[in-house]
């Protein structure tokens, strides 16, 4: 097989193999027996067991009529024979552990690509500066993908001690508190004025409406400290604001520091039973009351920490690689920097830890 054909095949097959692996099978009809395609099994026997019985040097794919060095005699036999060992070597380069259900499909596409590559070679399409440039770009892409994969594999080598050390150093991040919250809207929703107001009068009217709610937030905080029911106080806040929708629940459940807005994370420093100061943002005012506190056990957050460490290590490694070579562009040629073009992928590996979703604020 020509080098041009191999490179193009691998680039295309890598994307195809990943898509094939992620494609879900059609849903079974209720009561219908599972099909061979949906179960990944051949009609008879275990496909993995059957495949393992084939000798490494046994032909598993034969392409009649296509070969690397076609004989001058057109009547002579011309075929490409691929053994099990050769085919599995290709699978390893394209997609290790390819599911049995897609190997046959891949083999057919692989054979078609080999035939096309051979034909391209016969037409001289693997010659000239354009081909060499494409080959160079293909090499860069394959190497960059290989580096990304190697970095992620290395980053995934996380020991139990690594996880325990991280847990001990970040124990405050895994502290939970049973939290209640009162939300006081920033301003009253005023009905339309019955008389036309000047711009200055309307501005004062809005300012007064905001001051009413600001003062109310202070009063509600004092009543919360005195021990009044927060749900009752929340309902009063919405009633005064003129909002017609039902007041939100004050119960947030178990909350971590990271699930709170950064400006409100200090709530986690309060002791059980304490009420926070009035905190504010653009939407309004917040009053928190902290209930029972505890720290999640290591066993419960082990997978989360593993994901966090893996993501941190990948980011650190990729940032180190990128900083090792910094590009300088001629602005006269490229123009000023305007950010990455839409649709242009950034050379950073995907993936991240499975973290808890922050509690949404009132709308």
Cβ(356)–Cβ(253) below 8 Å:
no
| Predicted pLDDT of residue 343 | 54
Distance CA 60, CA 51 (A): 10
Give me 108's structure tokens: 């057919």
Residue 254 and residue 180: Cα distance in Å, rounded? 10
What are the tokens at 143? 């190497």
User: Per residue in 109-140, is it b (16+ CB within 10 Å) or e — as a string?
Assistant: bbbebbeebbebbeeeebeeeeeeeeeeebee
Quote the CA–CA distance of 64 and 61 in Å, as a whole number.
Answer: 10
Give average pLDDT by consecutive 10-residue segment, the chain, 363 residues: 43 46 42 43 62 91 89 79 94 87 92 94 93 95 94 96 96 95 93 83 91 96 97 96 93 95 95 96 96 96 96 96 92 84 49 40 48
Task: Report d(CA 160, CA 132) in Å as an integer.
Answer: 48
pTM of the model: 0.65
Q: Within 10 A of 180 (CB to CB), how many other CB atoms are there?
A: 21
Residue 24 has what pLDDT? 40
User: Could you give the CA distance from residue 37 to residue 35 in angstroms, rounded to a whole number?
Assistant: 5
Query: Is 151:317 a contact under the CB 8 Å cutoff?
Result: yes
Up-side HSE of residue 169: CA atoms within 13 Å toward CB? 8
Instruction: Report domain 173-295's class.
Output: alpha beta
pLDDT for 26:
43
Rounded Cα gap, residues 175 and 245, in angstroms: 34
Alpha carbons 134 and 164: distance in angstroms, whole number = 48
Q: Hunting for tokens 């009132």 — which residue is that? A: 362
CA angle (17, 147, 128) in 5-degree steps: 75
φ/ψ of 7, rounded to 5, equals -65, -45
**H-assigned helices in the chain:** 3-22, 36-39, 47-52, 84-94, 100-122, 129-155, 160-169, 199-225, 230-241, 298-323, 331-334
Residue 7: per-residue pLDDT: 42
Listed by start position, the domains of the chain span 3-23+36-155, 173-295
In DSSP notation, 259-317 reads: GS-GGGGGGGGSPTT-BPPPEEETTEEEEEEEEEEEE--HHHHHHHHHHHHHHHHHHHH
């Amino acid at each position: 097989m020509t080098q041009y054909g191999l490179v193009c095949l691998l680039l295309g097959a890598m994307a195809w193999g990943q898509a094939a692996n992620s494609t879900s099978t059609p849903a079974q009809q209720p009561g219908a027996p599972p099909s061979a395609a949906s179960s990944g099994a051949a009609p008879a026997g275990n496909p993995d067991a059957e495949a393992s019985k084939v000798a490494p040097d046994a032909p598993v794919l034969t392409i009649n009529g296509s070969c690397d060095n076609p004989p001058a005699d057109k009547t002579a036999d011309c075929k490409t024979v691929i053994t099990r060992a050769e085919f599995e070597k290709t699978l390893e380069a394209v997609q290790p552990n390819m599911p049995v259900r897609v190997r046959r499909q891949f083999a057919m596409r692989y054979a078609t690509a080999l035939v096309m590559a051979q034909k391209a070679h016969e037409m001289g399409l693997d010659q000239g500066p354009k081909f060499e440039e494409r080959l160079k770009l293909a090499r860069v892409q394959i190497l960059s993908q290989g580096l990304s994969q190697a970095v992620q594999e290395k980053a995934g080598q996380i020991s139990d001690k690594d996880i325990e050390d991280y847990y001990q150093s970040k124990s405050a991040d895994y502290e939970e508190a049973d939290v209640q919250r009162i939300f006081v809207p920033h301003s009253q929703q005023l009905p339309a004025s019955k008389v036309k107001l000047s711009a200055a009068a309307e501005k004062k009217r809005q300012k007064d409406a905001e001051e009413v709610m600001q003062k109310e937030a202070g009063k509600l905080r004092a009543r919360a400290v005195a021990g009044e029911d927060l749900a009752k106080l929340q309902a009063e806040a919405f009633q005064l604001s003129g909002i017609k929708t039902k007041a939100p629940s004050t119960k947030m459940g178990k909350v971590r520091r990271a699930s709170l807005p950064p400006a409100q994370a200090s709530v986690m420093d309060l002791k059980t039973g304490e009420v926070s100061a009035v905190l504010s943002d653009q939407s309004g005012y917040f009053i928190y009351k902290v209930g029972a506190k505890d720290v999640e056990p290591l066993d419960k957050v082990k997978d989360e920490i593993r994901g966090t460490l893996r993501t941190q290590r990948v980011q650190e490694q990729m940032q180190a690689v990128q900083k090792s070579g910094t590009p300088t562009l001629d602005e006269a040629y490229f123009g000023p920097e305007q950010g990455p073009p839409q649709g242009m992928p950034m050379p950073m590996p995907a993936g991240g830890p499975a973290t808890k979703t922050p509690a949404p604020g009132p709308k």
